[in-house]
Amino acid sequence: MTNKDRLIVALDVDTEAKALELVRKLKNDVKIFKVGLELFSSAGTSIVGKIKKEGCEVFLDLKFHDIPNTVARAATAVTGLGAFMINVHALGGYEMMKKAVEAVRQEASRLKTERPKLIAVTVLTSTDENGLKRVGISDNIESEVMKLASLAKEAGLDGVVASAKEAGLIRAGLGKEFLIVTPGVRPSWAASGDQRRVAAPADAIKGGADYIVIGRPVTEAADPGEAAKRIAEEMER
């Protein structure tokens, strides 16, 4: 993949108009955009199709986490939107993830459309060791991430969301075909914000990430296109 293929820009904005303005500014330098809870809640399902009409792909980041039947129905509902990739939360467990895989496959087959990639969130990059302990998880982050990533692979998912700090462990343990999407990536010239487990773009790719997700360093830049180009240069290095 080229750097343009690997970079996912997070559209963490509150209106459709702001999101589409960013897509139009960036689409010559960015192929994939992430639609998360804020934008999806504001703009609704139609935002996926509108981004695709600009010639770009969508990672629909809704992190489904509920009882298996509810997640399966939600996964069925979003399969036909045209997103390139969707996700669930691995802490929902094996049965929930397996049901989601089955639902996506069945709906894509029924619609005669390409199946979106289905990945699982492991441990949020805003969480550190202390954060895990406060919710009753005694494992260190690396162990917890590997446990959840292994469970996701067993359930038939295509990959996981994990920080660059665990990407190498996942790649070594679960193989080169298992997708790794890495948020919490910050170029050398950007602030960390609320992310705790961060890495530079080049380090994330070197560590084994297939895709990196970057939001504010691009979307809040004075020149978003130039910011995306600088990140691509860092990825090359």
* Dist. CA 58–CA 70, nearest whole Å: 23
CA distances from 227 to 57, 67, 82, 218 (A): 20, 40, 27, 5
What tokens does 234 get?
């860092």
Q: Which of 125, 184, 129, 182 is nearest to 159 (CA)?
A: 182
Answer yes or no: 112 catalytic.
Answer: no
Catalytic residue, candidates 34, 63, 98, 153: 63
Complete DSSP assignment for 197-237: S-B-HHHHHHHT-SEEEE-HHHHTSSSHHHHHHHHHHHHH-
Catalytic residue ranges:
63
